[in-house]
Amino acid sequence: MRRSVVTATAAVLGAFALAGPATGATEPPRPTFYEAPAAISGNAGDVIRSENLTFSVDPAGLSSLVMTSKRILYTSTDRSGAKVAVSGSVLVPKAPWIGLGHRPIVGYAVGTQGLADRCAPSRQQSEGFEYESIFIKGLIERGYAVAITDYQGLGTAGVHTYMNRVVQGRAVLDSVRAAQRLAGSGLSSSNPVGLVGYSQGGGASAAAAELAASYAPELRVKGAVASAVPADLAAVLANLDGTLYAEFALYGMRGLAAGYGVDMSPYLNAAGRQAMDEVEGECVTDLANHAFVRTETLSATGVPASTILAQEPFKTMVAQQRIGTIKPAMPTLVVHSVLDDVIPYAVGKAMAKSWCSKGANVYFSTVVSPGHVGGVLDNAAQSYAFLEARFAGLPQFSNCWTL
C-alpha cells in the first residue's frame, strides 16, 4: 500500500508540474449533461439525471472491469438554501462486499481542481487525467463505493463557489444521498458512510462533518477524515499571497464573492479584473499563470487582499467560512504537516483544538511530509486505516489531551 501511495504522490506532483505559461484559453462549451433543468424540484440528494462514465486516461487503472461508474447531476442547496444542480460521479466495485454489514459509501471531497467547468472531476475522469483517481483507487480496492462531488458551479453553470464552507459541505453530503438513490447502484440508506478530503477537500469534508447531524441526519456517518484543512480562510489567503500558489488565493477571492453574489470589480484595478476573469477559466494545471502575483498589484487602492478581506462586506463573509465552530457528531481524523507551505499547520491544529474543546472525538496527526503536496502521502495511508477501523466498528481513541 505504501508503494501505491508514493506513486500517487508522484502523480500529483506531476500534475502540478504540467502547469505552463498563461494561455488565456476560452472555456470550451459545457456538455449538455451538465445543463440544469429550468426548475429544480425534489429533495436534496435526488438524482436529476445520470449517464455512464468511462475513464479515458487513468494511470490508476480504474475501469469498467472492476467497477460501475456513473456521472450524475443531483439536487443540492446553496448558501441561502435555494435548490441548485450539482454534478459528480458514483463508483461502485463490481466485486461483492465481503465485510461486515452493508458496503460502505465514501463521500470523497476532492482537492483544488480550479474554477473552470472543464476542471470538474466527473469531466476529467473521461476527458483527461483526474489526479484524485489514484487515491480513489485505494478506496475501490477496499470494496467501498465512492461518491464524488464536483461542487457547486464546477461543471455546471455559474462560478464555482470555491471554499464556501456550507455550500461545499452540503454538496458532499448530497452526493452520498444521490449515490444511495441512484437506480441500479445497489446502494441505499442502510449503507454506512465515511467522509474523506484533503486541502479544499479537507475543508469540504470538515464542513460536511460539522453539518451532517443537522443537514443529513439520516446518513450513517461512521467517521470523517479532514486533512490540511483551510479552516481559517483569511490566514490561508494571506499565506498564499505572492507565492507559487498565489492563483489559489485568487480562486478563494473569486469563489467567495460568487457565493455571496458580491461584485468585486470596484475593489480591483484593470489588472485585477483581468486576473479574476482569467482564473475563472483555469484549472490547477494552470498554476503558473498567476504564480508569485501579489494581490496589492491587483487592487484598486494598492492594498493587499488581506486588507480588503478585513473590511465589510468581506469581513463577515470570511468569518462565516471558519471551520471548527460546530462539534462533529462522528470520530474525526485530522492530518497536517508541519512543513505545509500552502495551509499553515497552525490553522489545522487550531481547528482540531476547537473541535476538542466542544467534546468531539478527534485524533490529530502531525506529520513532517515536505510541502502541501507531499502531505498527501501520509494523509492517504492514514485515511485508509481510519476508514477500515470505523467501518469495522472499532472505537477511535482521541488524542485531544495532547493538543
25 pLDDT above the threshold of 90: no
CATH 3.30.470.10 fits 2-232+329-402, yes or no: no
CATH class for the region spanning 235-318:
mainly alpha
pLDDT band at 26 (very low <50, low <70, confident <90, very high): low
CA distance 223 to 401: 20
CA distance readout (Å), 70 to 55, 90, 129, 371? 11, 5, 17, 34
Q: Kindly give the pairing relationship between strand 362-367 and strand 332-337.
A: parallel
CB 262 within 8 A of CB 97: no
Task: Return the residue matching grid coordinates 494511470.
Answer: 59
- Please give the average per-residue pLDDT across 37-51, as a whole number: 95
**Does pLDDT of 16 surpass 70?**
no
First to last CA, the chain: 30
Within the chain, all domains assigned CATH 1.10.260.130 are found at 235-318
E strands, 141-285, in order: 145-149, 192-198, 220-227
Looking at the chain, the whole-number percentage of residues with pLDDT higher than 70 is: 93
Tell me the per-residue pLDDT of 230-249, one tens digit each, with 9 for 90 and over.
999 999 999 999 999 999 99
Model pLDDT, residue 55: 80
Note the pLDDT tens digit of each residue in 265-305.
999 999 999 999 999 999 999 999 999 999 999 999 999 99
Q: What is the pLDDT of residue 10?
A: 39
Predicted local confidence at residue 367, as pLDDT: 95
Nearest alpha-carbon partner for 291 in 308, 279, 277: 279
For the chain, residues classed under CATH 3.40.50.1820 are: 2-232+329-402
Single-letter code of the amino acid located at 394:
L
pLDDT at position 377? 79
Peptide bond into 93 cis (omega under 30): no
Whether residue 209 has pLDDT greater than 70: yes
- The residue among 74, 100, 243 whose CA lies nearest residue 173 is 74
Contact 105, 116 (CB under 8 A): no
Q: Are strands 145-149 and 192-198 parallel, antiparallel or unpaired?
A: unpaired
The dihedral over CA atoms of 215, 216, 221, 227, expressed in degrees to the nearest 10, equals: -40
pLDDT tens-digit profile of 52-89?
998 876 767 777 778 999 999 999 999 999 999 999 99
- Closest alpha carbon to 166 in 195, 202, 204, 201: 204
> Nearest Cα to 206, choosing from 333, 60, 314, 86?
333
Residue 27: band (very low, low, confident or very high) from pLDDT cuts 50, 70, 90: low
Q: Which residue in 142, 141, 95, 146 sits closest to 121, CA to CA?
A: 146
Cα(227)–Cα(220) distance, rounded to whole angstroms? 21
- Is 96 in a helix, a strand, or coil? coil
Distance from C-alpha of 318 to C-alpha of 250, rounded to nearest angstrom: 14
Rounded Cα distance between 176 and 189, Å, is 9
Cα–Cα distance for residue pair 302/185, rounded to 1 Å: 54
CB atoms within 10 A of CB 294: 14
Name residue 75's beta-bridge partners.
85
Q: Convert the pLDDT of each residue in 328-386 to its tens digit.
A: 999 999 999 999 999 999 999 999 999 999 999 999 999 999 999 988 878 889 999 99
Q: Are the C-beta atoms of residues 213 and 76 closer than 8 Å to each other?
A: no
How far is Cα 328 from Cα 390, in angstroms, rounded to an integer?
15
Q: CA–CA distance from 345 to each of 164, 230, 324, 334, 338 (Å)?
A: 21, 10, 15, 11, 5
pTM, two decimal places = 0.93
